[in-house]
Amino acid sequence: MTDENKDRVVIRGLRGVAAATTKTSFVEPFGSLYYSGYDIDDLVDRASYEEVVYLLLHNELPTKSELAALKSELFSELWLPDQVIERLKSASSGSHPMEVLRTEVSHLGEYDPERDDNSDSANKRRAIRLIAKVPTIISLLHRIRTKKNLVVPVKEFSFAENFLYMFRGKAADPEERDAMERYMILHADHGLNASTFAARVTAGTGSDVYSAITSAIGTLKGPFHGGASERVMKMLYNINSLDEVETYIQSMLDDKKKIMGFGHRVYRTEDPRSKHLRDIAEKLCQRTNNLVTYHKCKKIEDTVHEKKGIFPNVDFYAALVMNALGVPREFFTSFFASSRVTGWTAHVLEQYADAVLIRPTSKYIGEYGREFISIEKRR
Ligand code: COA
């Protein structure tokens, strides 16, 4: 065994390790989030999702004409190749939407109209293509599964509005439109989180944008990442009344189980997205006469904080927002992906510009110098 291996220090889970530089977003541990220098609190109130897409891809807010050009490009990229539509129709009925999304994003790569062009401008166009097509894949899958007609997007609608329209087949009213816009802005990027890291690792090998986004989708799917919001909804179903909250949480903690939608690797205080999502959730629950679920969430939040000192993360109130917008639980993570694809592609473009292979090492802790025994003599 070499001393070099023995002396290696393992940073378990890469906690606190800065593995790349970025200009897209900055996660400040004491409760702030910035997209290219702009506070998320300002963006969520004053920007559109399309402005945020432009900001993350270019690190600058767009002018009116740049925004108009982006909107038009996004709209023109909402369509899907026939082969992808056929596969959506034949996807196994028991499969999870994130499994289907992972496969179809990879499949889309086969039909990229600029397959052999790896220039920066072609990759930027690919980013827009994916940002537009991911919500279409999800919407179409839902329409097919519920045996409903496909919905043609409306040019005058915003991107977020069209997504909800294509998914549900019903145009959003002003409150729903506002909620969806904010949801998309709040989920668009978040530093070097696990799925973004996966995308950057893939891009760092020089592989293509579709491969990088496929890696990211597979990573987001996990329950400790984007998959948490679906489990939050399950918890809300399992807790029948406000009176049951305390016992439920205590038994989860006694069993050393994680409460979904709580805790964070970076934030030491409340996740800055959480307060906005709580506010959106309260408004939506009020109008759908479902304040009882909102109050259940508030009680869970207070109880977990009191018992464990941790705060809700982005996935906790996002579950309530999705539910109030009529999105079925199994689609929650794919809505997250439909916004985060913007951050992923922005990071992939940065990774190509940096052109470095991301390849850490490991500390070997297995046996060493063993004598090889032929298969006939092994017992
Ligand atoms: N429920 C209960 N306890 C939690 C918790 C949760 N959701 N999240 C963290 N903790 C506790 C841990 O048990 C640990 O306590 P201890 O020191 O008494 O052992 C402490 O807080 C630190 O947690 P740790 O697991 O080391 O943090 P991490 O940075 O490795 O994990 C998450 C971060 C997000 C993976 C973790 O908080 C989690 O699993 N949350 C639930 C899933 C979720 O909501 N994911 C979405 C993330 S945006």
Residue extents of the structural domains in the chain: 12-221+335-353, 228-324
Distance, in Å, from the CA atom of 319 to the CA atom of 284, rounded to the nearest integer, reads 12
Whole-number Å distance, alpha carbon 309 to ligand 1 midpoint, is 11
Q: Per DSSP, what are the bridge partners of residue 262?
A: 312
Q: Name the catalytic one among 58, 96, 225, 264.
A: 264
Name the residue at shortest CA distance from atom 18 of ligand 1: 308
DSSP tag of 361 = -
Distance, in Å, from the CA atom of 196 to the CA atom of 279, rounded to the nearest integer, reads 27
Q: Is 305 a catalytic residue?
A: no
Class of domain 228-324: mainly alpha
Q: Which amino acid, residue 321?
A: V
3-state secondary structure of 366: coil
> pLDDT tens-digit profile of 127-157?
999 999 999 999 999 999 999 999 999 999 9
- Determine the pLDDT at residue 316: 97
265 lines ligand 1 (CB under 6 A): yes
Distances (CA, A) of 111 to 67, 104, 108, 115, 345: 27, 11, 5, 8, 18
3-state secondary structure of 32: strand
Distance, in Å, from the CA atom of 130 to the CA atom of 342, rounded to the nearest integer, reads 8
314 lines ligand 1 (CB under 6 A): yes
Whole-number Å distance, alpha carbon 178 to ligand 1 midpoint, is 31
213 lines ligand 1 (CB under 6 A): no
Tell me the pTM.
Answer: 0.96
- Determine the pLDDT at residue 23: 97
Residues in the chain with pLDDT < 50? none
Rg (CA), the chain: 22
Ligand 1 pocket test: which of 264, 267, 305 has the largest number of ligand atoms within 8 Å of its C-beta?
A: 264
- Determine the pLDDT at residue 347: 98
Residue 307: partners with Cβ closer than 8 Å, 6 or more residues away? 249, 250, 253
- Determine the pLDDT at residue 3: 82
Whole-number Å distance, alpha carbon 311 to ligand 1 midpoint, is 10
Name the residue at shortest CA distance from atom 3 of ligand 1: 258
Which one is the CATH code of 12-221+335-353: 3.40.50.2300, 1.10.580.10, 1.10.287.70, 1.10.10.10? 1.10.580.10
Half-sphere exposure of 369 (CA within 13 A, CB side): 2
**Two structure tokens written together for 31:** 């409760």
Contact of 182 with 314, CB cutoff 8 Å: no
264 lines ligand 1 (CB under 6 A): yes
308 lines ligand 1 (CB under 6 A): yes
Whole-number Å distance, alpha carbon 359 to ligand 1 midpoint, is 26
Q: Is 117 a catalytic residue?
A: no
Whats the size of the chain, residue-wise?
Answer: 379
Contact of 280 with 183, CB cutoff 8 Å: yes
